[in-house]
Amino acid sequence: MATIEAALNIAIDHQQAGQIDEAASIYREILKADPQNARALHLLGICLHQSGNTSQGIDHLRRAIELRPDATTFHHNLSLIYLAAERFDEAIASARRAVEIEPDNAPLHDNLGDCLLQGDCAEEAAGAFRRAVQLDPDLTKAHSNLSSAFFQLKQYQQAVDTARHATSLDPNYPDAHLALGNAQQFLEQADEAAASYRRALEIDPRFAKAHNNLGNVLRFQAKLREAETAYHLAIRSDPKYAEAYNNLALTLQEQGRVEEATAGFNTALRLKPDYIDARWNLTLCRLIQGDFARGWNDYHLRFTREGQILRCPPVPDWDGSSLEGKTILVYGDQAVGDEVMFASCLNELIARCQHCIVECDPRIAPMLARSFPTAQVFPREPAGDLARICHEQAVDVSVALGTLPRFLRTDVRDFPRHDGYLQADTALVEAWQERLSALGPGLKVGISWRGGGRPIDASRRSTKLADWDELLGLSGVQFVNLQHGDCQRELQEAYERIGVKVHEFSDVDQKGDLEQVAALTAALDLVISVQNTNVHLTASQGRPVWVALPRVYEWRWMLNREDNPWYPSARLFRQQKRGDWSGVFQRMADELQSIVAGSIPPPHWIQPGTPQAHVGFSGASEP
């Protein structure tokens, strides 16, 4: 064997050429001759990691560090291996040690920042990146990473500015263009983000993250076929890219290709078994297909979603077992529309237990108390504390409202036919009937055209009032505004455009006073709306509602149905082509005009010109 130094150099050449086995063999020969050779231990450890034996690789680097505790490179490389293994705390500790040894080394601060960032310590990471660029203002990688830290901190404009500076330092650094695109995307600068991702791909055509993120922008822009291509290119570049499989599956689902989507989510989970997003998306994919038995099993993953708060009452969770002689607490856990929808399970639950306590959004508490008189209803307090209720009411078990279907709706046949399970205040309904009568003859139809909190949701489910022109132009109909928020300009433009006045009641808080909104929808002949709280309030009372839906949207509306098992009084009008609302409103206009003209018999719930009190609805097809 050559001298140890010469052998090390030969092994390093093999390692740098990607000849890992050959290099590892030489390092082992060196260690036979010199078991305390720290460099050989260190480099063999890297070889072992590169060949997939990370655990042994870490052991070898630790032994090397025991021999040379102040070797910066050893600590640095150990942090990289920990980072690859997603052992973030250990990666951070190793990176900190490297910085302690060489505090003026900019790349080491940059690496520490990377470990902190991936370990969800974005604020500390930003500090490390700032120190790196102080030490070396031209270190492009550190500027790019600082942009990523700003992104995690939701400081998107700073992220854009920092990434732009990184691209000015090195226009051919693809990660900087990726960071720029990420921030632009969250500022809803979709075209600019797509251009940034494409620039990254010009530099590195096999940059899997750039392909994936370009696909995300294209999906947001409803360019589903182009998005699909981008995700396939990401997977081709990195066949183990679980996130790309998940995003591809979402794109397939939005095209109605749910079997392919299911396969995609399952592939993502095989590659990354703890991938919560993919498991959640698979759950919704099952529910949209009506596979309730399996879909509800993972519906608890909603508590992992951003904005969801996991509430933990100090009593056992109900597991579906007998409630005879027991008091159960049911607590709301989602948006008010979901609480209204899942309240359809309460009658069955109340029949099973001795006493049912319901805690819910204060806006619907009076309605639930009126509708379920044997239950005890508490409006949710600002602190959301359930412990006091459990103690004072001697609660035995508790369950989130959104968990009830897991035990009560495991098959589409479990959904009861109903003519409404919630009741508006009778006096308010009668008052609204009088006010609506004063509008003049004709059907009284409530409308709302926007919905969705997050921009991506709003972009899919919302419409422009101009999309409704064909419908609003019908004679024999008095339209009533149910849209919350400032609508004055849109309504005035509609009047100037088609000469139709949509009636408004300025004394109604459409978002805050749901008691009034529920009574108003009960007094109307018909509500026509995109998917929002108005749909839930109307249909939960058994009142007629026409829902304008994207071609494929939320799981609750399922696939290719005009009816809905949750709401028998709802009729669904879906886009035939993604993003095209014209056909939806044309079909609605044709049908409503036929009803007004009498060319088709009106459903029993419409008696033209006479606002109706709460009545049953039995015209929907069986689910």
How do residues 97-130 score in pLDDT, each as one tens digit?
999 999 999 999 999 999 999 999 999 999 999 9
The letter for the amino acid at 116 is L
Q: What is the pLDDT of residue 384?
A: 77
Q: Using alpha carbons, select from 523, 500, 520, 521 the residue that is nearest to residue 589.
A: 500
Residue 609: pLDDT band (50, 70, 90) is: very low
The correct answer on CATH 3.40.50.10330 for the domain covering 206-289 is no
Please give the average per-residue pLDDT across 194-199, as a whole number: 98
CB 525 within 8 A of CB 538: no
Torsion of CA 400, 402, 408, 410, to 10 degrees: -130
Q: What is the pLDDT of residue 610?
A: 37
d(CA 144, CA 142): 5
CB 491 within 8 A of CB 481: yes
Q: Report percent pLDDT > 90 for the chain.
A: 82
Q: What is the pLDDT of residue 595?
A: 85
d(CA 245, CA 102): 41
Location of structure tokens 């991506």: 456
Over residues 267-285, the pLDDT tens digits come to 999 999 999 999 999 999 9
Sequence-distant (6+) residues with CB within 8 A of 613 are 426, 429, 430, 433, 522, 523
Q: What is the pLDDT of residue 618?
A: 26
Q: Report percent pLDDT > 70 for the chain.
A: 94
Structure-block tokens of residue 107 = 């790349």
What residues does 574 pair with on adjacent strands? 549
Instruction: Give rounded-to-5 percent helix, strand, coil for the chain.
Output: 55, 10, 35
Q: Using alpha carbons, select from 470, 595, 469 the residue that is nearest to residue 544.
A: 595
DSSP secondary structure letters along 4-22: HHHHHHHHHHHHHTT-HHH
Q: Using alpha carbons, select from 470, 481, 415, 480 the residue that is nearest to residue 622.
A: 415
The correct answer on CATH 1.10.3720.10 for the domain covering 4-205 is no
CB 409 within 8 A of CB 344: no
d(CA 267, CA 242): 7
Please give the average per-residue pLDDT across 245-273, as a whole number: 96
Specify the DSSP element, H or E, that contains 527.
strand 526-530
The letter for the amino acid at 152 is Q
Over residues 30-43, the pLDDT tens digits come to 889 899 999 999 99
Do the domains 206-289 and 438-597 sit in the same CATH topology, yes or no? no
Over residues 541-579, the pLDDT tens digits come to 999 999 999 988 889 999 989 999 999 999 999 998 888
When the pLDDT of each residue in the chain is averaged and rounded to a whole number, the result is: 92
Q: Using alpha carbons, select from 70, 66, 69, 97 the residue that is nearest to residue 82.
A: 97
Location of structure tokens 């025991």: 66
**Strand positions, DSSP E, 531-582:** 545-549, 570-574
d(CA 465, CA 349): 41
In the sheet that holds 355-360, the strands lie side by side as 376-379, 355-360, 327-331, 397-400
72, 78, 177, 615 from 115: Cα distances, Å: 16, 12, 21, 62
Q: What is the pLDDT of residue 453?
A: 61
Q: Using alpha carbons, select from 246, 320, 239, 317 the residue that is nearest to residue 282.
A: 246
DSSP secondary structure letters along 334-357: S-HHHHHHHGGGHHHHHHHSSEEE
Lowest mean pLDDT among 414-418, 479-483, 608-612: 608-612
Q: What is the pLDDT of residue 552?
A: 85
Please give the average per-residue pLDDT across 293-303, as a whole number: 94
Q: What is the pLDDT of residue 457?
A: 63
Residue 2: pLDDT band (50, 70, 90) is: low
Please give the average per-residue pLDDT across 352-375, as a whole number: 97
Apex 171 CA angle, 167 and 174, nearest 5 = 80
Q: Ramachandran region of residue 471, left (φ > 0), alpha (ψ -120 to 50) or beta?
A: alpha
The third-level CATH classification (topology) of the domain covering 438-597 is: Rossmann fold (3.40.50)
The end-to-end CA distance of the chain, in Å, is 80
pLDDT at 1 over 50: no
d(CA 288, CA 560): 10
CB 397 within 8 A of CB 323: yes
Over residues 134-174, the pLDDT tens digits come to 999 999 999 999 999 999 999 999 999 999 999 999 999 99
The letter for the amino acid at 278 is A
d(CA 81, CA 98): 14
d(CA 235, CA 536): 40
Q: Where are the domains of the chain?
A: 4-205, 206-289, 303-416, 438-597
